[in-house]
């Protein structure tokens, strides 16, 4: 009985969170569709949502699936390697104040440097192989995670450290039991930022040097003036990013339970 009651409560809570954005989205789509027909807006300017969905269904498996898989594969490689690397870097730097002062400016530079600026130079170094695009994602995601995790390590309440020392905890025990859990909210903030930056990196690279990928598809269909499917590509990219963001949110709710 308790399990079913808890499940019903979870469903109700999820629905309470879902219906406002779903209602807003539905109203926006209705207004969008109506405006296109009422004002007779050209599909080259703003296509109707129904035509976008129809073209997306028509073309996705035929032409877009390989591009989407290429884009998500690069995002996955860069993101999943950059996250543990960034956390490891922060963990090592946190052991030395001198190291933190020395390397933090470099990490900030990697976070704030617009990737579009270095893509042409990177292409000269690494070539045009699709798999090498993950390197740019790796560096920026690792830098973001290192910066956020390091901030979490530094912002711990000193009384918690004093309490751990009072119980005779070793440096390693203090780090595992006190410092790292304290940094988890900042770590997940970095994970969320990493989702956005990883997609921006990959799509930017595909705009400049891609012959496959969702960024290339947007340019390709726009050049052919097939605007409904070009908008469909943008929709797919947005849904991919939203899915990544939701996965991080779900993990945060399950792991960082004390924030509820």
| pLDDT value of residue 10 | 66
| pLDDT score for 80 | 96
What is the value of pTM for the model shown? 0.89
- Residue 141 to residue 173: CA distance in whole angstroms: 28
Confidence tier at 3 by pLDDT (50, 70, 90):
low
Residue 158, pLDDT score: 82
Confidence label for 1 from pLDDT (cuts 50, 70 and 90): low
Q: pLDDT tens digits for 116-163?
A: 788 888 878 877 777 788 998 999 999 999 999 999 998 888 888 888
Question: CATH 3.40.50.620: does it fit domain 51-259?
Answer: no
End-to-end CA distance of the chain: 24
Check if the beta carbon of residue 160 is closer than 8 Å to that of residue 178: yes
Contact 207, 196 (CB under 8 A): no
* pLDDT higher than 90, residue 38: yes
Every domain of the chain and the residues it spans: 51-259
State residue 2's pLDDT score.
57
Average pLDDT, whole number, for the chain? 89
Q: Answer whether residue 260 shows pLDDT above 70.
A: no
> Which DSSP string do the residues of the chain spell out, in sequence order?
-HHHHHHHHHHHHHHHHHHHHHHHHHHHHHHHHHHHHHTT--TTT---HHHHHHHHHHHIIIIIHHHHHHHHHHHHHHHHHHHHHHHHHHHHHTT-HHHHHHHHHHHHHHHHS-HHHHHHHHHHHH-S-GGGHHHHHHHHHHHHHHHHHHHHHHT--HHHHHHHHHTT--HHHHIIIIIHHHHHHHHHHHHHHHHHHHHHHHHHHHHHH-SSSHHHHHHHHHHTT-HHHHHHHHHHHHHHHHHHHHHHHHHHHHH-GGG-
- Residue % of the chain over a pLDDT of 70: 95
């Amino acid at each position: 009985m308790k399990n079913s009651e808890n499940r019903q409560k979870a469903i109700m809570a999820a629905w309470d969170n879902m219906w406002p954005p779903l209602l807003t989205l539905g109203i926006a789509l209705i207004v969008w569709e109506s405006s296109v027909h009422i004002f007779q807006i050209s599909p080259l300017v703003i296509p109707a949502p129904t035509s976008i969905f129809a073209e997306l269904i028509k073309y996705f498996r035929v032409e877009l699936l390989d591009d989407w898989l290429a884009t998500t594969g690069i995002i996955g490689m860069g993101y999943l390697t950059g996250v543990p690397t960034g956390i490891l870097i922060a963990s090592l730097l946190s052991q030395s104040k001198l190291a933190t002062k020395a390397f933090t400016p470099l990490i900030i530079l990697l976070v704030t440097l617009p990737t579009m600026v270095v893509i042409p130079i990177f292409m000269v170094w690494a070539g045009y192989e699709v798999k090498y695009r993950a390197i740019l994602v790796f560096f920026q995601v690792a830098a973001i995670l290192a910066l956020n995790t390091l901030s979490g390590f530094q912002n711990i309440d000193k009384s918690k450290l004093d309490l751990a020392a009072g119980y005779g905890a070793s440096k390693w025990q203090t780090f595992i039991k006190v410092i790292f859990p304290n940094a988890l909210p900042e770590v997940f903030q970095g994970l969320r930022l990493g989702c956005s930056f990883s997609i921006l990196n990959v799509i930017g690279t595909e705009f400049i040097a891609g012959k496959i990928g969702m960024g290339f598809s947007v340019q390709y269909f726009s050049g052919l003036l097939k605007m409904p499917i070009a908008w469909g590509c943008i929709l797919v990219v947005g849904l991919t990013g939203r899915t990544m963001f939701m996965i991080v949110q779900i993990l945060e709710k399950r792991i960082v339970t004390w924030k509820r």
